[in-house]
Structure 1
Amino acid sequence: MNTIWPQALPASRGPKYALVADIIRKSIENKSLEVGAKLPPVRDLAYRLGITPGTVARAYSILTDEGLVQAEVGRGTFVAPPMTPIVDDVWSRMSASAEGEGGDVSLFSPRLVDRGQVALLSEGLTRLAQSDPSTLLNYPTRDGARPLREAVARWLADLPLGPFDAEDVVITHGGQNGIGVIFQTVLTGPRPRILIEELTYAGFRRAGELMRADVQSVEMDEWGMVPEALDHAVRNGGAQIVCLTPEVHNPTGGHMPLERRKALVAVARRHDLQILEDDCYRVGEARVSCFRALAPERAWYVTSISKTLTPALRVGFAIAPQDRAAELRRAAEYGFFGVAQPVAELTRLLLSDARTPGVAARVRQGMAEYVRVAVNVLGRFDLVWDREVPFVWLRLPSGWRSAAFCRAAERAGVQIRSADEFALRDGLAPNAVRIAVNGQVSLDRFQDAMERLRGLLDNPPEQISV
């Protein structure tokens, strides 16, 4: 071990912890450090190199996240065996099992393909079981969640969110919980008012109802909420927050362009209206600036890993406007103390793993294969789709009403959602349905479900039913 270290660390513009990690990483790659070799204790190596113990500890943490070394309680830190290659065996078994069972195909909500995330989670659970026992014994704390917040900040670093760091990130129990925590932070008074688009994610309405809020819909077009309609709604009824899904509109799959976002920001500033951006359905790169970058003083942001890696962990991320992070943290801490430490640590391991970005890319590619099948079968109808959106939006042809079509589809063994589910109870919904991708059935079985829907579309009932 002594032979890999220089007399002093070479000059570098980067941080010293990254330089230490790089020296060890290269030594592992060229076999100067072999599997099982023990690294020096943190304090010993810090003394030898003339740096702080914290610098060495951070280098070791980075290498642990990369899977190159592993810490064993009471023994020390060792060079880890090579990582297990990511394979799709779990997904293959899942698909084969689902295909053999027969029965209905649920296309209510997106179900992700497994492109290695199950293997990563399995490895993470093993590492979690070997970690510091305090992870399994103590309450979550703000300091304890810092490594996860730092991992989230790195995960979101390329997003056009405006300035933020790990201290701005609040960990929640999924995106829906993030929406609820933001409402708890923002809304005041006995009957606050929330504004949503005519068609939108039903979770806005449900979270608002829990807060005893009045939820009002605002006119929208193909680009999202209409700024003039928002201005009119605020002038006539007042409101405290407007909820939007601009990057991937749920349920239509539309995208809000930059000019529309700027126009809505202008209205919000004129009326001192807060903005909540739900970005949970974006799986690729953001195409334009987020609301938090456009209106950093009033825009709240929430996302999760449910549509990119897995919904099973129920972990989401909320970010407040500038100078309001403390309020958001307080609402979360008062509500549930924090995300359970084992879940937080497992999520940190997942987001910090060098293989995870590649897995997420393969998940996107896998889901795009299902979208391609849906478009090939249903493309001659009025279909809105995007290869990186895990559902398609189908405007029904003459002869069908959405409720009747959903009932007929269910009788044919395919479960889909009517546009009515995305409107307020007394609102008007278009004659359309949302068809989600189910990556946990085989492509052949998914294609069969699409062909059953096409058969219904080609043969509407003689009498229109509702």
Structure 2
Amino acid sequence: MIRKLTLLLICFKGYIDLMSIWMPKLDGRRGAKYQQLVEALAEDIASGRLPPGARLPPYRELAYRLGMSAQTVSRAYAQATRRGLLRGETGRGTFVIDPSRQAASVAPASLARETSGPIDLSRNLPSPSRADGPLRDILREIGATADLRMFLDYQSGDGEGPTHAAAARRWLQECGLDTRAGEVIGTCGAQHGLFCALTGLLSPGDLMLSEALGYAPVRVIAERLALRALPVEIDAEGVCPESLERLCRDRPVRLLYLTATLQSPTTSTMSDERRRRIAEIARRHDMLILEDDVFGRLKDDRPLPIACFAPERTIYVTSLSKSVAPGLRIGFLHAPDALADAVRRAVVLSVWMTPPLMSEIAARLIESGMALRLLLDQRATAQRRQTLARQILGRFDLNADPQGLHAWLRLPDGWNAGSFRAAAEARGVLVSDARDFAAPGVVAPVAARLSLGHEASDARLETGLTRLADLLSQPPRSDALFL
């Protein structure tokens, strides 16, 4: 009798476990099925629905309940593990990781330049900088400074001493801007500059426009600031003046965000004439322009910034991260007098000041001319890798700029973005597809962005591009189209 009760209890516990199995909410999600599953998993972990230490169902069991293939769920678990969301324990199962314990170890490794494993063409970073020698010299010089305490003390509210401000102005002048004292603001990178511009100049409910395909974090910032956002159509040069005019005519628009040079993901660069037209529309409709020129210095024959055509209403943002060294988290923002104070207050609100030691390193690199030499190294590497990409993928529909960090690959008939991304990953190559950049409501083209700078060696890049070329030379598998 006791044995029968024990068996009943075991069966009842199994039934309860089965009924309480985690079931992701996938309705309304876009993308490959395994990606939908990963995003649902990330959201449930963030919301607490899946607490740290929670055990996930075996992937075959979850696949059965979701009506998916076991391979799809297994791929989702593997992707979530790489993202630092899960951990697998042999013989025990798969568990949710405690973010507080993993933050220190996962975050730095997530951008590591691996020499083995998947070839990463998804991260749009410049090549590893050869700044170790100059940095060593600069640190030695700083170490000989009489009073080092100033680098560990609070600075003025904007964090810009005379030397740092002069270096910032010099860099912006080399970008093509005519700068004046009070118009230049130091930031902790370009993304921080974009955040401060939107925080300082816009109010909840204001309407901003951004490219239909573009830098996704800006849309996330807009959402967090309770801004309304609409996409503006783009073509081979970037923002379409006709689409912009139509949107501005139908409603009051506070700000347009765009990347005019080496736009990501499309690689487009606006002509002088297009920039003039955008400036004229902005002036006619009393609209601000937030110009992201983080890639601008990579292109030596670039047109003048839009800020030169509409200086009274353009906030220009750039940094050293894409063009000199990615770990140098120093950016420069240029704003007209009427707008600069509001943006400067946003910098103070968010970080108080840019780190004095980092600002000092950046200033010395600029003033010594070493920043320019490192920039030229980045250009040379970009040109070499773009040549490699054209040699391997040139027979396909590949858009690229010889000096850019990325290429835009339109996929042959028969592929969709999700199937290509999954098939590439199965061959050990990570790419980003157009859906990663599409604004809400925008139908993404069937295309992928290939970032050429992240991999440390040309050899690994060549291997990755060759695998993609081999993949595109074959018709897609029918089962892959449903991933």
Q: Check whether TM > 0.5.
A: yes
Distance 1:378 1:257, change over 3 A: same
- AA matched with 1:279: D
Tell me which residue corresponds to 2:285.
271
Tell me which residue corresponds to 1:251.
265
Per-residue CA shift, 1:70-114, capped at 9, x if unaligned?
xxxxxxxxxxxxxxxxxxxxxxxxxxx978x42111111234334
C-alpha separation in 2, matches of 1:311 and 1:166 = 27
Aligned partners of 1:247 and 1:286 also within 8 Å: no
Q: Could you tell me how far 1:143 is from its partner in structure 2?
A: 7.0
Q: Could you tell me how far 1:371 is from its partner in structure 2?
A: 1.4
**Number of residue equivalences:** 367
Task: Give SS of 2:173's match.
Answer: coil
**Aligned residue among 137, 142, 151 for 2:167:** 151
**Aligned residue among 341, 360, 381 for 2:356:** 341
Q: Could you tell me how far 1:448 is from its partner in structure 2?
A: 0.8
Aligned partners of 2:213 and 2:265 also within 8 Å: yes
Aligned partners of 1:246 and 1:255 also within 8 Å: yes
Percent identity between the aligned chains? 31
Tell me which residue corresponds to 1:408.
423
Q: Does 1:218 align with 2:235?
A: no
C-alpha separation in 1, matches of 2:311 and 2:113 = 46
Greater CA drift, 415-424 or 229-238: 229-238
Aligned partners of 1:175 and 1:317 also within 8 Å: yes
**Aligned residue among 182, 185, 190 for 1:167:** 182
Tell me which residue corresponds to 1:446.
461
Q: Could you tell me how far 1:115 is from its partner in structure 2?
A: 5.5
Per-residue CA shift, 1:439-462, capped at 9, x if unaligned?
543212211110100111111324
Tell me which residue corresponds to 2:72.
none
Task: Give SS of 2:231's match.
Answer: strand
Q: Could you tell me how far 1:198 is from its partner in structure 2?
A: 1.0
C-alpha separation in 1, matches of 2:205 and 2:255 = 13
Tell me which residue corresponds to 1:430.
445
Greater CA drift, 136-145 or 117-126: 136-145
Task: Give SS of 1:363's match.
Answer: helix
Q: Does 1:236 align with 2:250?
A: yes
Structure 1 residues 134-213: aligned runs within 5 Å: 134-141=149-156, 142=158, 145-161=161-177, 163-188=178-203, 190-213=204-227
Q: Could you tell me how far 1:316 is from its partner in structure 2?
A: 0.9
Q: Could you tell me how far 1:178 is from its partner in structure 2?
A: 0.5
- AA matched with 2:167: A
**Aligned residue among 95, 114, 123 for 2:137:** 123
Q: Could you tell me how far 1:126 is from its partner in structure 2?
A: 2.9
Aligned partners of 1:196 and 1:218 also within 8 Å: yes
Provide runs of 4+ in structure 1 moved above 4 Å. none
Q: Does 1:352 align with 2:364?
A: no
Aligned partners of 1:244 and 1:278 also within 8 Å: yes
C-alpha separation in 1, matches of 2:215 and 2:113 = 28
Per-residue CA shift, 1:412-445, capped at 9, x if unaligned?
1111100011112332111100000135432122
Tell me which residue corresponds to 2:299.
284
Greater CA drift, 272-281 or 367-376: 367-376
Q: Could you tell me how far 1:322 is from its partner in structure 2?
A: 4.3
Structure 1 residues 321-332: aligned runs within 5 Å: 321-332=336-347
Aligned partners of 1:124 and 1:349 also within 8 Å: yes
**TM-score, length basis structure 2:** 0.72
Q: Does 1:372 align with 2:414?
A: no
**TM-score, length basis structure 1:** 0.75
C-alpha separation in 2, matches of 1:103 and 1:405 = 19
Task: Give SS of 2:388's match.
Answer: helix
Per-residue CA shift, 1:130-167, capped at 9, x if unaligned?
33222333112247533112112112223332x31343
Aligned partners of 2:120 and 2:454 also within 8 Å: no
Q: What RMSD over aligned residues (CA atoms) do the two structures have, in Å?
A: 2.0
Structure 1: gaps of 5 or more residues: 1-96
Task: Give SS of 2:182's match.
Answer: helix
Tell me which residue corresponds to 1:105.
119
